[in-house]
């Protein structure tokens, strides 16, 4: 959409090419999921477009960004460098891309771990990130893609279940928020 072009031009410079491609995938997928559930489509697209805006900075740059904006970094985010781009992304979306909508900033902040009791935009972005067309490695992708348009909570439950299993198999530290999110959503999971 024309209104997103200035942001797209900026992101094209801030991100590497595969990440920019992924970002467009998430933008369109978030728009589609929003349509299916009667949510504000441009708002979901904008959140999708910006969700990984801090992904291609260094860990040090992300730490500095948090510090300068008085945002606390957890021990888990210090230890697991894959996590901080979500929180840093929300800060960057606000100060660098002039986003004032708190729902969009929140959806960006929680897009990696999820959290208990997410609002509709949070779920749309979390799910779009996992199922966008460029993703091909996740287990149960066909099921999760179908659920995205039918039942957001069941979809969340399945993605969190598969993500926890993946993280466990990798043997890395699992962020407490990811576990809490799964505990919240697991009751919605449909047996596969």
Residues of this chain that bind ligand DGI (CB under 6 A): 22, 52, 55, 80, 82-83, 111-113, 129, 167, 172-175, 178
Return the exposure string of 124-148: e unless at least 16 CB atoms fall within 10 Å of the residue's CB, then b.
Answer: bbbbbbbbbeebeebeeeeebbebb
Is 129 a binding residue for Fe ion by CB under 5 A? The answer is yes
CB of 25 to ligand DGI, least distance (A): 10
Read off the DSSP letter of residue 64: H
Q: Residue 33 and residue 149: Cα distance in Å, rounded?
A: 6
Q: Residue 37 and residue 151: Cα distance in Å, rounded?
A: 9
Is 77 a binding residue for Fe ion by CB under 5 A? The answer is no
- All residues at 6 or more sequence positions from 106 whose CB lies less than 8 Å from its CB, including other chains: 90, 119, 121, 122
Is 175 a binding residue for Fe ion by CB under 5 A? The answer is no
Q: Which residue number, 52 or 162, has a Cβ lying nearer to Fe ion?
A: 52
Which among Fe ion, ligand DGI, none contacts residue 138 (Cβ within 5 to 8 A by kind)? Answer: none
Q: Give the Å distances, CA to CA, from 164 to 66, 108, 125, 157, 177.
A: 27, 20, 18, 11, 11
Q: Which residue number, 38 or 77, has a Cβ lying nearer to ligand DGI?
A: 77
Q: Residue 100 and residue 111: Cα distance in Å, rounded?
A: 18
CB of 19 to ligand DGI, least distance (A): 8
CB of 85 to Fe ion, least distance (A): 6
Q: Which residue number, 129 or 162, has a Cβ lying nearer to Fe ion?
A: 129
Which among Fe ion, ligand DGI, none contacts residue 145 (Cβ within 5 to 8 A by kind)? Answer: none
Contact with Fe ion (CB under 5 A): which of 24, 30, 52, 66? 52
Give the residue carrying structure tokens 């466990």. Answer: 168
Q: Which residue number, 32 or 159, has a Cβ lying nearer to ligand DGI?
A: 159
CB of 129 to Fe ion, least distance (A): 4
Looking at the chain, how many residues does it have? 192
CB of 186 to ligand DGI, least distance (A): 15
Which residues contact Fe ion (rule: CB under 5 A)? 52, 129
């Amino acid at each position: 959409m024309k209104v997103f072009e200035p942001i797209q031009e900026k992101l094209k410079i801030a991100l590497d090419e595969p990440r920019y491609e992924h970002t467009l995938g998430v933008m369109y997928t978030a728009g589609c999921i929003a349509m299916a559930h009667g949510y504000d489509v441009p708002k979901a697209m904008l959140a999708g477009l910006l969700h990984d805006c801090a992904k291609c900075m260094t860990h040090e740059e992300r730490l500095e960004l948090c510090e300068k904006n008085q945002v606390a970094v957890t021990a888990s985010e210090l230890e697991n460098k894959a996590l901080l781009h979500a929180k840093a992304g929300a800060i960057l979306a606000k100060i660098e891309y002039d986003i004032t909508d708190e729902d969009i900033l929140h959806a960006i902040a929680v897009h990696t771990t999820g959290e208990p009791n997410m609002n509709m935009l949070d779920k749309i972005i979390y799910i779009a990130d996992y199922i966008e067309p460029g993703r091909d490695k996740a287990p149960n992708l066909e099921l999760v893609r179908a659920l995205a348009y039918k039942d957001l909570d069941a979809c969340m439950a399945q993605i969190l279940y598969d993500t926890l299993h993946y993280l466990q198999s990798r043997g890395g530290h699992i962020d407490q928020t990811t576990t809490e999110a799964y505990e919240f959503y697991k009751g919605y999971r449909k047996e596969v």
